[in-house]
């Protein structure tokens, strides 16, 4: 690894100022579980690493007027230990639990996971299924966009080189929304997903799917929503047959590839099964709370 300068600002403003002064020769450092590994293998070493883990604004999990706010530097372990997330959004705990091993979860952050923007990231599907928003700070101030807009392509977000991810917001109406996450890897721990998936919906009057969401990872260039399957479900009765049909429709929306982990045909089969199981899991959660 080549030498670089290291700075650790303690406020959003000083991070933005550091980026303005050093971009495009600066990289942001969160927990470092991804970036430090990358730096060991690249000749394109940044001149400055801006460690954002000391910024207070980037920490904390709390309910606000807008919804559940999760700082970008919240670690996967903190998500697993959060009482409000355990109670309201256990699918997020399940997703965090599948990331790497204990050491990776202790250091790795939600923000870092989203910014890597790899299609197999484990926090993406659940957050997409909850219509999460992200707050971005930069020289022109701060802006808020949907997570869907944030993901642009493999390893590419809409962040400009002088911008930083501040927090993730789960809109108020979706805090408590029945949601279920599943991941399939080649072994139980320390494996990237062949496919991961999440589904959420509210149970409407007459036992119908209301605001259904289906999000899928590792089957397209970015974590994606299966909107045709969602449209099929909206307003329909909650039945096993409809869940299975949604799974079949989701398969028509994905663009899986064959790689050393799995063939695209196998990924298609997983999507059909996981969509159905995630919907069933979300419904089981709803019933357990009734
Ligand atoms: C052994 C191992 C196993 C792993 N297993 C999994 C797994 O099972 N599932 C999974 O999804 N991931 C896995 N990962 C990947 C990684 O651990 C996660 O993506 C982690 O959440 C990254 O967070 P971090 O804070 O360490 O990011 P960093 O490594 O610090 O940064 C990652 C990227 O995000 C940028 N960045 C960080 N914070 C911000 C911010 N606030 N604003 C803007 N940009 C920012 C950095 O510049 C860098 O480009 C694994 C990694 C390792 C090493």
Q: Where in the chain is the domain with CATH 3.30.390.50?
A: 179-289
pLDDT at 27: 95
Q: Where in the chain is the domain with CATH 3.30.465.10?
A: 58-174
Q: Would you identify the CATH topology of the domain 179-289? A: Enolase-like; domain 1 (3.30.390)
Ligand 1 contact via 114 beta carbon (within 6 Å)? no
Phi, psi of 109 (to 5 degrees): -110, 160
Q: Where in the chain is the domain with CATH 3.30.43?
A: 5-51
Which one, of 269, 258, 270, lies nearest residue 125 by Cα? 270
Q: Is the pLDDT of residue 168 over 90?
A: yes
Interval 217-257: pLDDT, tens: 999 999 999 999 999 999 999 999 999 999 999 999 999 99
Name, in order, each residue with C-beta under 8 angstroms of 234's C-beta and a sequence gap of 6 or more: 209, 210, 211, 212
Write down the mean pLDDT value for the chain. Answer: 96
Do residues 67 and 169 lie in contact, with contact meaning Cβ atoms separated by under 8 Å? yes
The ligand 1 atom at the shortest distance from the C-alpha of residue 121 is 11
Q: Is the pLDDT of residue 143 over 90?
A: yes
Do residues 195 and 108 lie in contact, with contact meaning Cβ atoms separated by under 8 Å? no
User: What is the rounded distance in angstroms from the CA atom of residue 91 to the CA atom of residue 86?
Assistant: 8
Interval 96-133: pLDDT, tens: 999 999 999 999 999 999 999 999 999 999 999 999 99
What counts of helices (H) and strands (E) characterise the chain? Answer: 12, 14
Which residue among 9, 101, 116, 187 has the greatest number of ligand 1 atoms within 8 angstroms of its CB, and so is best to mutate? 116
pLDDT at 234: 98
- The residue whose C-alpha atom lies closest to atom 31 belonging to ligand 1 is 112
Spell out the CATH class of 58-174: alpha beta
Spell out the CATH class of 5-51: alpha beta
Query: What are residue 142's DSSP bridge partners?
Result: 137
Peptide bond into 24 cis (omega under 30): yes
Interval 40-68: pLDDT, tens: 888 788 999 999 999 999 999 999 999 99
Q: How confident is the model at residue 289 (pLDDT cuts 50, 70, 90)?
A: very high
Burial class (CB in 10 A: 0-12, 13-18, 19+), 211: middle
Q: How confident is the model at residue 189 (pLDDT cuts 50, 70, 90)?
A: confident
The ligand 1 atom at the shortest distance from the C-alpha of residue 159 is 43
């Amino acid at each position: 690894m080549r030498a670089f300068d290291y700075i650790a600002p303690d406020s959003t403003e000083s991070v933005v100022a550091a980026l303005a002064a050093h971009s495009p020769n600066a990289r942001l450092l969160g927990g470092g579980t991804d970036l430090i590994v990358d730096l060991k293998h690249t000749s394109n070493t940044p001149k400055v690493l801006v460690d954002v883990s000391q910024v207070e604004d980037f920490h904390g999990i709390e309910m606000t007027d807008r919804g559940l706010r999760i700082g970008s530097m919240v670690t996967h372990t903190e998500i697993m230990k959060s009482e409000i997330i355990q109670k309201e959004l256990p699918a997020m705990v399940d997703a965090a639990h599948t990331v790497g091993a204990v050491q990776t979860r202790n250091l790795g952050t939600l923000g870092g996971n989203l910014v890597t923007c790899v299609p197999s990231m484990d926090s993406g599907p659940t957050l997409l299924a909850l219509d999460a928003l992200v707050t971005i700070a930069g020289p022109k101030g701060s802006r808020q966009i949907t997570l869907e807009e944030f993901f642009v392509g493999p390893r590419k977000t809409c962040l400009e080189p002088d911008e930083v991810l501040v927090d993730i917001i789960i809109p108020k109406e979706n805090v408590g929304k029945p949601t279920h996450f599943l991941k399939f890897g080649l072994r139980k721990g320390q494996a990237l997903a062949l496919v991961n998936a999440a589904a959420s919906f509210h149970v409407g009057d007459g036992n119908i799917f209301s605001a259904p969401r289906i999000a899928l990872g590792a089957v397209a260039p970015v974590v994606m929503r299966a909107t045709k399957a969602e449209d099929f479900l909206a307003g329909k009765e909650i039945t096993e047959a409809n869940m299975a049909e949604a799974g079949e429709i989701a398969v028509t929306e994905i663009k899986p590839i064959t790689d050393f982990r799995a063939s695209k045909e196998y990924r298609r089969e997983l999507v059909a099964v996981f969509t159905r199981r995630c919907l069933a899991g979300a419904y089981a959660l709803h019933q357990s709370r009734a």
